[in-house]
Amino acid sequence: MATDTMILKETQRKDRATGRESQWKMIWRRFRQHRLALVSLWIVIGFYLIAIFAEFLAPYAPSHYNSRYTYAAPQGIHLFDTDEQGNWGFRPFVYGYTTEIDQAAMRRTFVLDPDVKHRVQFFIETEPYRLAGFIPMQHRLFGVAEPRAPFYVLGADRLGRDLLSRLIHGTRISLSIGLVGVVLSLFFGVLIGGFSGFYGGWFDSIVQRTIEFIRSLPTIPLWLGLAAAMPRDWGALQTYFAITIILSVVGWTELARVVRGRFLALRTEDFVVAAQLDGASDYRVIMRHMVPSFMSHIIAAATLAIPGMILAETALSFLGLGLQAPIVSWGTLLQEAQNIRTLASAPWLLLPGVVVVIVILAMNFLGDGLRDAADPYGR
């Protein structure tokens, strides 16, 4: 066993020394040196897992409401408690509420009541649902046992809906919209940028002028105008895809620029010229020889484009021109926080914003790390 690993290490060292390590391995090794990027990678993966398993992780469905607990304050979760015999142990629970009337504001406020404890149970049985839309399931990760007990870890909104559940469901929409938007942008960017970089000429200059033009426009007015053009009676899915298309209108330019730049740089490389002289078709030269050598750059550029998309969706939905009410995204959640007086009495409504900042930061670090690692031969 020990000798095995030694031999393995030996060959790895040799690979490195003789340059036989594969490109992706080198990129990974380079990437791992970037601590912040590595941590960010895990954060991003974590959020995407939340997005995938949203129904299972969230204690309630996003539309589940309880009008008795409007604007209930966050309960938090207490993990350790004593049992009847007074022994400490892992027994998660939340406190119940007592209501008080706020004379000044003429409304109810919820105060945590330390005398009432609701046990939190794991893998609790609930009404049946479909995970990710197709896997039938009956259990959720956690919840309170008594069906009538309030369970608002991060507080409730104006209809008494659980903010945590909505945040988890919103993660799915917001993250996927970034991903779909980038895939669309990538498609157009690679296609157009590739053409203009590979063939050059008049097509290239038209594309370049177009890109310059689009980039010189302020994006929000442009997006607002396009988003306002969506018919009001469109369904959730239609709006969703319309938004991704709107975001890609600007998004493709950056990716096209990157792709074109790589094409221009590679066009005169020896191995490309050699392939052309060998009589390889354009398609083969591009797909077989050029694309693999700048794939990593494109992945880095695409990763860096995702946060911009997420921010844009959040901003549009926040302004009320993006995704509309029954769809839960971070933007529509923040829309609830628009009124300053509401915010003053329920500051936890800003929590989606905190999540946005965390995800955007993590994706930026991840993208930076990928970009640095994209060219492992340099330096």
Partner 1 sequence: MLGFIISRLISMVLTIWAISLVAFAIIQLPPGDYLTTYVATLSASGDRVDPRVIEALREQYGLGQPFIVQYWKWVSGIVTAGDFGQSFEWGRPVTELIWGRLGNSILLEGLAVIVMWFVALPIGVYAAVNKYSLGDYLATIFGFLGLAIPNFLFALVLMYLGYAWFGVVMGGLFSPQFEGAHWSFARVLDFLSNAWAPVLVLATAGTAQLIRVMRANLLDELRKPYVTTARAKGLPEWRVILKYPVRVALNPLVSTIGWLLPTLVSSSVIVSVVMNLPTAGPMLLRSLTTQDMYLAGTLILLLGVLTVIGTLISDLILAWIDPRIRYGGE
Residue 212: CB minimum distance to partner 1, A: 8
What sign does the dihedral 242-244-250-253 (CA atoms) show?
negative
Q: Which of residues 269-308 bind partner 1 (CB under 8 A)?
A: 307
Q: Which of 294, 321, 291, 331 is nearest to 173 (CA)?
A: 331
78 has which bridge partners?
93
Residue 241: CB minimum distance to partner 1, A: 16
Binding mask 190-229 for partner 1 (x = CB under 8 A): -----------------------x-xxxxxxxx-xxx-xx
> Is position 319 an interface residue for partner 1 (rule: CB under 8 A)?
yes
Query: Going by C-beta distance under 8 Å and a sequence separation of 6 or more, which residues neighbour residue 153?
Result: 59, 74, 75, 76, 77, 94, 162, 164
Residue 354: CB minimum distance to partner 1, A: 9
DSSP type of residue 75: -
The strands making up 78-82's β-sheet, listed across from edge to edge, are: 78-82, 88-102, 107-131, 135-144
CB closer to partner 1, 92 vs 200:
200
Are 179 and 313 spatial neighbours (Cβ–Cβ below 8 Å)? no
Which region, judged by CB under 8 A, interacts with partner 1, from 81-89, 185-193, 285-293, 342-350? 342-350
Query: Going by C-beta distance under 8 Å and a sequence separation of 6 or more, which residues neighbour residue 124?
Result: 139, 140, 142, 143, 144, 145
> Is position 246 an interface residue for partner 1 (rule: CB under 8 A)?
no
Which region, judged by CB under 8 A, interacts with partner 1, from 68-76, 85-93, 176-184, 338-346? 338-346
Residue 218: CB minimum distance to partner 1, A: 4
CA-to-CA distance for 139 and 132, rounded, in angstroms? Answer: 14
Residue 372: CB minimum distance to partner 1, A: 14
> Is position 357 an interface residue for partner 1 (rule: CB under 8 A)?
yes
CB closer to partner 1, 224 vs 286:
224
* Binding residues with partner 1: total (CB under 8 A): 40
- CA dihedral 64→70→73→74, nearest 10 degrees, is 0
CA-to-CA distance for 328 and 173, rounded, in angstroms? Answer: 7
Which region, judged by CB under 8 A, interacts with partner 1, from 72-80, 82-90, 256-264, 354-362? 354-362
CA-to-CA distance for 149 and 136, rounded, in angstroms? Answer: 26
**From 54, 177, 321, 351, residue interacting with partner 1 (rule: CB under 8 A):** 321
CB closer to partner 1, 261 vs 320:
320
Q: Where are the alpha helices (DSSP H) in 53-103?
A: 54-57
> Is position 255 an interface residue for partner 1 (rule: CB under 8 A)?
no
Query: Going by C-beta distance under 8 Å and a sequence separation of 6 or more, which residues neighbour residue 326?
Result: 63, 236
Residue 229: CB minimum distance to partner 1, A: 3
> Is position 245 an interface residue for partner 1 (rule: CB under 8 A)?
no
Following DSSP, what letter does each residue of 320-367 receive, concatenated?
TSSS-TTS--HHHHHHTT-SHHHHHH-GGGGHHHHHHHHHHHHHHHHH
65 has which bridge partners?
161
CA-to-CA distance for 263 and 142, rounded, in angstroms? Answer: 51
Phi and psi at 12, nearest 5°, equal -60, -45
Q: Which of residues 55-74 bind partner 1 (CB under 8 A)?
A: none
CB closer to partner 1, 105 vs 145:
105
Residue 5: CB minimum distance to partner 1, A: 37
CB closer to partner 1, 141 vs 249:
249
Residue 341: CB minimum distance to partner 1, A: 8
Q: Which of 99, 98, 128 is nearest to 115 (CA)?
A: 98
Which region, judged by CB under 8 A, interacts with partner 1, from 99-107, 144-152, 257-265, 313-321? 313-321
Residue 44: CB minimum distance to partner 1, A: 13
| Binding positions for partner 1, rule: CB under 8 A | 213, 215-222, 224-226, 228-231, 307, 311, 314-315, 318-321, 334, 337-338, 340-341, 343-344, 347, 350, 353, 356-357, 360-361, 364-365
